[in-house]
Structure 1
Amino acid sequence: MRDQLHELLKKRVQQCVSHSRSSIHTCPKIEKKKESLSGRSGEIVKAQATGNVIRVGKEKEDVTPVEYRVHFKYLIKQKGIFYLEEEIEERIADFYKGVFVEDREKNPFKDSKKEEVSSDREFEEEERYEYEYDRMKAVQYAEKWWNTYNPAYKKFDVDCTNYISQCLHAGGGPMRGYPNRGKGWWMRSGNWSYSWTVANSMRWYLPSSNSGLRAEEVSSADQLLIGDVICYDFQGDGRFDHTTIVTGKDASGMPLVNAHTYNSRMRYWAYEDSTAYTPNIKYKFLTITDDQ
């Protein structure tokens, strides 16, 4: 099985830099990434993938599922400028009587709406918390921990907003509201506010906050600066599923972002190549403001 997975990864790497779609194992996600890049005058000039098996599932009707993790690196050229994008994929491959038959990426956001809470918008607090947001420190933190987890904080299965909160805190955003989970923005003593960990709560908290960490909504992604935040509603149903932080810009001045849950760095902000992407996707673009 490992040898077959190795061959599959070799084909996916070749697909990244090939202009042919004839392979029987063509990965739709890679084609979406290439199409998105082509529309931005970019291309993948080199790709690399390393993987490891996480778990071999129980055989059922002669089919054995194998969960594995892949670290992809893409060297991207856009308008004469190069940058490196990285991402971690969690995938499942099915083997029928030991022979590979199907491969798919797990969708980490499928069950994220289980985190719904009734107190998303209870954020008002009078006390003032002066701070100056250090965007570079926030981005440095985002780069350091994009593919690992700071042991000083609790880790979650859907970890995207927890990771973004840590980045914002590293940039100087002050915690407030403890111990009320529906108030403020905080993680302390093994507990946390909804706004710290739940994407939909952070989406409402940042532009609604009247003290401490807060943000202003802008109309388009190109208005964002490094250290700013993008919120994603993949289904377009009004509840936001995912959060990223801007860590760079591409050759056209559009945001590149880092994220957790499926860990990635310097990924194009629109997530058009994500398995969670739908035509109904909605975004919120939030620029962090100082409180002085």
Structure 2
Amino acid sequence: MREQLQNLLEQRVRQYVSQTRSEIHDCPFIEKTKESCANRGADILRTTAEGKITKEGKTAEGTEVFYKAHYQYLIKQKNAFLIEERIEERKAEFYKGILVEDNEINLDFLGSPKIETNEVERNQEEQDEIEGDERKSFRYDRMKAVQYAERWWNDYNPAFKSFDVDCTNYISQCLHAGGAPMLGFSNRSKGWWMRNNNWSYSWTVANSLRWYLPNSKTGVRAKEVNSPSQLLPGDVICYDFQGDGRVDHTTIVTAKDAEGMPLVNAHTTNSRRRYWAYEDSTAYTPNIKYKFFTIVDDY
């Protein structure tokens, strides 16, 4: 039975691709990606997709199946070619072996774990105490940060705890792989760290990392810049989808496109070399605001 369902889902994701090619708008996710490419003078030359079941169970009406759809886009921009990859989490329902419903699980809408605003403020206020006790310098190795981002974009390093909302945890791991030292162990509202199945807010919560990076004076820290074109591989972008002042998502720059604009990797909706603006995200709104951070070191 599982093999039959797997075959049906494979047919379904291949159908998305063929429908997009024939301009049948049954897959808004892919259509939005096409629009995003067109807006920057790029064309999708080829799309491939495959589905893999992650969980299934019986319901009163039939069978419920959770699966991952892995999309790959071959994109041409000017004379450059690149491959963008993305994992879409979906849920399908079958009745007597017939697919009756298939919907995306909108992970981008999950945002990041919520903490109280006063916890973020306390985190900022206590930086001087941390820095006085644990002054640490480092040289940021951007290549190692990007290599880590590429290795783990669609997987989870068992050396670290993973989360359903994993975007900032993944970015913190990338920064740490680039040489950024952990600081402020044991108190979640202090520093930036993960150890012994415990972690700071700044390590795992998008809104907390957004405040930590520009306010830290030692260890990992960053300078805010005005334009994404100023970012380098290994730098960080923060996303406030609703434009309400609270950051929901974090990505790391892993490459530049033919126009010199960032391509990013991310977790939660696992993505590789995705265009930075997220115009094709399910969480995108016209009110979206971005924060662009370039990592600085002591050398």
**Fold shared per TM-score above 0.5:** yes
1:15·1:30 contact (CA, 8 Å) conserved in 2? Answer: no
Which amino acid is the alignment partner of residue 88 of structure 1? I
> How big is the shift at 1:96?
4.8
| Residue-by-residue CA offset, 1:231-285 (whole Å, 9 max, x unaligned) | 1111222211111000001111110000111211100011111112122211111
Once the two structures are TM-superposed, the CA of residue 114 in structure 1 deviates from its matched residue by 4.4
- 1:72-91 aligned within 5 A: 72-91=71-90
Judging changes above 3 Å, is the alpha-carbon distance between structure 1 residues 140 and 285 closer, same or farther for their aligned structure 2 residues?
Answer: same
Q: 1:282 to 1:57 in 2, by over 3 A?
A: farther
Residue in structure 1 matched with residue 53 of structure 2 by the alignment: 53
Deviation at 1:289, TM superposition (A): 0.7
- Bigger fraction of residues in helix: 2
Unpaired segments of 5 or more residues in structure 1?
Answer: none
* 1:35 lines up with 2:35 in the alignment: yes
Structure 2 match to 1:4: 8
CA deviation vs aligned residue, 1:122-146 (integer Å, no higher than 9, x gap): 2313332111111111101111111
Letter in 1 for 2:120: D
Residue 93 of structure 2 is matched in structure 1 by: 94
- The answer on whether the counterparts of 1:175 and 1:186 sit within 8 Å (CA) in structure 2 is yes
1:50–1:254 CA distance, 2 compared to 1 (3 A): same
Does residue 131 of structure 2 align to residue 126 of structure 1?
yes
Percentage of identical aligned residues: 62
| Structure 1 residue 8 displacement after superposition | 1.6
Q: Number of residue pairs matched? A: 287
Q: Quote the Cα distance in structure 2 between the aligned partners of 1:21 and 1:287.
A: 39
**Which ranges in structure 2 are unaligned for 5 or more consecutive residues?**
none
Structure-2 change in CA distance of 1:223 and 1:146 (3 Å): same
Distance 1:162 1:114 in 2: 11
Q: Which of 274, 285, 290 is the aligned partner of 1:278?
A: 285
Code of the aligned partner of 2:213: L
**Distance in 1, Cα, partners of 2:19 & 2:76:** 16
Distance 2:285 2:186 in 1: 37
Distance 1:256 1:194, change over 3 A: same
**Regions of 4+ moved over 4 Å:** none
TM-score by length of 1: 0.92
Helix, strand or coil: the match of 2:247?
Answer: coil
For residues 1-292 of structure 1, the aligned pairs below 5 Å read 1-16=5-20, 18=21, 20-22=22-24, 26-60=26-60, 62=61, 64-96=63-95, 98-117=97-116, 118-121=118-121, 122-123=123-124, 124=127, 125-127=130-132, 128-292=135-299
